[in-house]
Amino acid sequence: MFEQQPEDLRKKVKQLATEFTQNADPSGWFEVLYADAERDAQQVPWARLAPHHAVQEWLEKHNPSGNGKSALAIGCGLGDDAEALSRQGFQVTAFDISSSAIAWCKQRFPNSSVNYQVADLFHLDPAWNRAFDLVVEVRNIQALPLKVRSQVLRAIAPLVAPEGTLLIITRIRDTETEPDGPPWALSDGELAQLQQLRLTEIERNIFFEGENDEVKHAQITYRAPG
């Protein structure tokens, strides 16, 4: 997230995230940002109006058959990753805390079979526990500060069905030192919590977003036990 954005948008994001995080509401600023954008995607720093390339590459490589299977897109933003999962044949649920983002998804994809919902990762329906064969998490963990990191990971891990898969696309960092965010890249120590939450890492690909980009990104696949 936050690649190649104009300075004023970067400042706005930093200011909103700092203000809401100080008020113990680290997810609250996203609705402000989406509502202020008034459906101009250029005002949403992470919006690309296309699936994330690392999701697309993962789908092309693994070519999972979604027929009869469920998928969940966490913090789905403007919906492009959810739509990619739907094209793969999955029955997709996609949620975001921002009602403006979800309304925008429904406007962009009026004939979609994706079940778009407003929901808060921190207060999910218990019926979603172990309910999804494929859970896709793109750039949301990194969008939330370290003080809620364990809470975020504990909310995501239980969503994966037995023998199901979790795909994470995220920035990663090499130290356990707290980074200056947003975004707050993930450390190995933080990712290791997913293993304690019964998920086994089965694949990790590191990538950079451009030739001069020094920020490490990762596409990580986890498998849940049967």
Ligand X SMILES: C[S@@+](CC[C@H](N)C(=O)[O-])C[C@H]1O[C@@H](n2cnc3c(N)ncnc32)[C@H](O)[C@@H]1O
Interface contacts to ligand X, rule CB under 6 A: 1, 27, 30, 46, 52, 75-77, 96-98, 101, 120-122, 138-140, 143
Residue number, 11 or 225, with CB nearest to ligand X: 11
Residue nearer to ligand X on the CB measure, 152 or 161:
152
Beta bridge partners of 136: 73, 167
- Smallest separation, CB 9 to ligand X (Å): 13
3-state secondary structure of 204: strand
Q: How far is the CB of 76 from ligand X (least distance, A)?
A: 6
Which of residues 120 and 188 has its CB atom nearest to ligand X in the complex? 120
Terminal C-alpha separation, the chain:
33
Q: How far is the CB of 143 from ligand X (least distance, A)?
A: 4
Do 26 and 145 contact (CB within 8 A), yes or no? yes
Shorter beta-carbon distance to ligand X: residue 151 or 195: 151
Distance CA 218, CA 221 (A): 10
Task: Name which of 214, 172, 213 is nearest 194 in CA terms.
Answer: 172
Q: Indicate the residue among 83 and 96 with the shorter CB distance to ligand X.
A: 96
Tokens 């965010």 belong to 181
Q: How far is the CB of 170 from ligand X (least distance, A)?
A: 10
Kindly state the smallest distance separating residue 226's Cβ from ligand X, in Å.
28
Dig out the tokens for 46 from the structure.
């992470």
Closest contact distance (angstroms) between CB of 92 and ligand X is: 13
DSSP per-residue codes, 13-59: HHHHHHHHHHTT-TTTHHHHHHHHHTT-GGGSTT--SS--HHHHHHH
Select 117 or 175, whichever has its Cβ closest to ligand X.
117
Structure-token match 């009869």, residue found: 68
